[in-house]
Amino acid sequence: MDQAIVINSGATKWDIRHKVWDYIEANNLADFPRPVHHRIPNFKGAHRTCNKITSLEVFTKTSEVKVDPDKPLEGARLAVLQARKTLLVPTPRLRAGLFNKIVPPQNANKEDLRVCSTSQGVKDFSVPIGLEAKVQVDLVVVGSVAVSEKGYRIGKGEGYADMEYAMMASMGAVNESTVVVTIVHDCQVVDIPEGLTESHDLTVDYILTPTRIIKTECQRPKPEGIIWSKLDVEMLEKIPILKKLRSLEQKAGKDVTLKVSTAKNEKPNAKPTLDSKLNPKHTAKSRPRCEPKEEPNHQHIGDGAVVHKHPQGCTSTLYLGGIPDGLRVSELKSVLRERNVVPIRLTWQGAQHRAFLEYSDGPAAEHALTALQDLSIKGHTLKTERAKSQRGSRRPNQTLPRTRNKETKEAAHTPTTTATTVSLTVSGKQGS
């Protein structure tokens, strides 16, 4: 079947996401909520397409089904409840645990079940399921932005579906016989280069569209558990249940060493990052300490942002210019993760169409500089170069003067080492 969206060779996951989002919007293929950008698209006909799940043999045999909370999967959640099966949904951003079990009111009628299948119903009629619960999920239903007939899947870039499946595998809730289904519009079935997917990425066994049921015959194994070396301390802070799961696996004798981080509370013997592997002389152990004598001055200013004063002489910074309008910092962070060039700090100045990427040393910055050449997002080619030193000095919180031309502006935009900037720390979360 001819595909509506053609994916060019060399496309990144974010290129594919935006092609799909743009196509759905341009062709008015979506229902509320809109625009579909940065969402799992709620395509027109999603509810009817979800009903096809009842025709799958695995659906008739299973008693417990895990369905993601995305709007286009509402029909799948309703089908599970109407079949009187146990419906499990992930907790929002995994903050309070892994699963919630939907418990409809006693003697629930069809309308009650419909309410339970909505996002509000998921909040009102669910109870948490702990890691110690004996859960066996034979069918998992996930949302997708794009998927290929080979079973490769791309989500909206936050990585939660991949993480949830890995956590289920770690706790024994899924196994090699568990079937994974995604439900999408026909236009979302595209050619995804195999090289874009990694070992932690979840693949799918069936694709349900308004016109087809596709059995992918995917040969790539699904995640068999958490790959701890891809996670850092910050991720454990964001998702507390990971701490508990890590403790359980550590007691079971598994290697739970985290990714090397510059955080002060990171273990010095953690496994090396890509940068330290490429530059063995600059491992965390041999790298000189960069902390100032006093704690960095910082102040919360709202929306989760923190004002930092950067220590002098400790890091190497890249300038990233030409950032397109509407780009979110989360999108840029996902692109950086895909290219394995996550900085220790990202200073976001989206309104000025630029960002600053701070790396632990020169070799790490040089590696990032090479990896980010010819970077294109939303059809815009970004400019990546070493940040230029400003002439003179300025006091903290002093804003830069307005410049009259692009050349002067780029020469003057680099934060000095004593400047106060709004910085957002980049997490090690995978982009899926």
Collapse the DSSP code of 271 into the 3-class scheme (helix H, G, I; strand E, B; otherwise coil) and give the result: strand
C-alpha–C-alpha distance, residues 337 and 241, integer Å:
23
> Could you give the domains of the chain?
13-215 (3.40.50.10420), 228-271 (no CATH), 298-424 (3.30.70.330)
Query: Is the pLDDT confidence value at 344 over 50?
Result: yes
Question: Are 76 and 67 within 8 A, CB to CB?
Answer: yes
Residue 217: burial class (beta carbons within 10 Å; 0-12, 13-18, 19+): exposed
**Choice among 76-80, 191-195, 265-269, 345-349 with the minimum mean pLDDT:** 265-269
Lowest mean pLDDT among 217-221, 225-229, 394-398: 394-398
> How distant, in Å, are the alpha carbons of 263, 269, 297, 306, 406 from that of 421?
19, 31, 11, 9, 21
pLDDT at 301: 28
The residue to which tokens 């307005």 are assigned: 402
How far is Cα 357 from Cα 351, in angstroms, rounded to an integer?
A: 16
* Predicted confidence (pLDDT) per residue in 288-337, tens digit: 334 333 333 333 323 333 333 334 445 689 899 988 888 888 888 888 88
- The stretch 371-396 carries a mean pLDDT of 67
pLDDT in tens, 2-44: 788 988 888 899 999 999 999 999 999 999 998 999 899 999 9
What does the pLDDT read at residue 339? Answer: 80
Distance CA 5, CA 246 (A): 41
Dihedral Cα 415, 416, 420, 424, nearest 10 deg:
50
Nearest CA to 145 out of 271, 307, 281, 19 is that of 19
DSSP state of 93: G
pTM above threshold 0.85: no
Q: Distance between terminal CA atoms of the chain? A: 25
